[in-house]
Structure 1
Amino acid sequence: MSRFPELLAAAAVSAGIVLAGPALAGKFGLGTKATSEEIAGWDIDVRPDGQGLPEGSGTVSDGEEIFAERCAACHGDFAEGLDRWPVLAGGRDTLKSGNPVKTIGSYWPYLSTVYDYIYRAMPYGDAQSLSPDETYAIVAYLLYMNDVVTDDAFELSKENFTSIRMPNENGFYDDDRDASPIARPHEVCMSDCKTDVKITKRARVIDVTPDSEDGPEGMNVD
């Protein structure tokens, strides 16, 4: 530490250096105020009730062409998934099995999540390059591949979006337990704690969601 703090401070001020401190707190003058157009570009979330959906539409046949060009390299021509990329179709009635296949048709509860995720994050490496019409078309194709709609001439739009009900919409429930099985900060063990942890179940085997009607069974470690 300098033996001449006054000289050091004076030198800093003369050099134009601003020293941090409570007396200097305030606006930093960094960045620019977001415009309404920029905010609209970020405000793209879509909710289960359809709020946030843009105008537009797309057919199953159009979606098949777009999917083949923009999505099939990872997910396969029929949404079956290639290599270790996610499977998007099939898996119905597998959630209670030892090898559950979680797809749009077997697991996802709301169609809004499908649209939101594709429009926001896909295709991989080129996110947000799809137009609303292209996204509607891809979602329509995925609905068809999951037998949620059976008409290959089906057209998905903002107007009929909320009329679509996903097969697993009622497969979720709120965690209504009064106490969480996860330790709170004040409950953290400070003495005579367990020295090791034994894994008693695998999440993939039990598929996380319990079979009992009483609700979640809690932690899967002992």
Structure 2
Amino acid sequence: MKAFIKEWGLFTLIVIIIIISRWLIWSPVTVDGHSMDPTLQDKEHLIMYRTKDIQRFDIVVASEPDGSGKEKLIVKRVIGMPGDTIRFDNDILYVNDKQMDEPYLKEYLEAFAKDKLQDIYSYNAQFQARAQVSTAFTVDTNFQPSFTVTVPEGHYYLLGDDRIVSQDSRAVGSFAKENIKGKIVLRMWPLNRITRF
């Protein structure tokens, strides 16, 4: 018995620690769809850290009901914190009347200015059509390029990085703090795109 514990004790302890930490601290997540392109791509594998310490521009995992009432996990970026007034004016973000930079949008903003993303969206005719009728990269549900939202206390305003494609707080409203499961800290797959966030 002592020989078994000596040989397998450390290994068993490590396995137990990994299992407990997986349950309490972190969780694997898979990107489903194109709403976070190009930052995160469809089918990429991520690690979510379970925390309630959420900051503006964190990429988070949130839950919302799907069509059948079951929980669906989505990956989006935090744009508005509790109590914020968010305003978009022709692709410029203002938070509480202060202009904010969104460097993660640079590639798609340039592509929108060039050809309304027609080349990038060549894989999906529906995305191309939606981009064609958009007067800006970030529009509200009525395709208006200027809109203002006040985030309720205890809620977060979440948007996808691909604003043309993403179904997010513009359509479903803000997300309560209890619906934020954690934030993305690592892309672990594919190997050539491993990144810490």
Higher share in strand: 2
Which TM bucket (shorter chain)?
under 0.3
Which structure exhibits the higher relative contact order, with contacts defined as CA atoms closer than 8 Å and separated by 6 or more residues?
A: 2
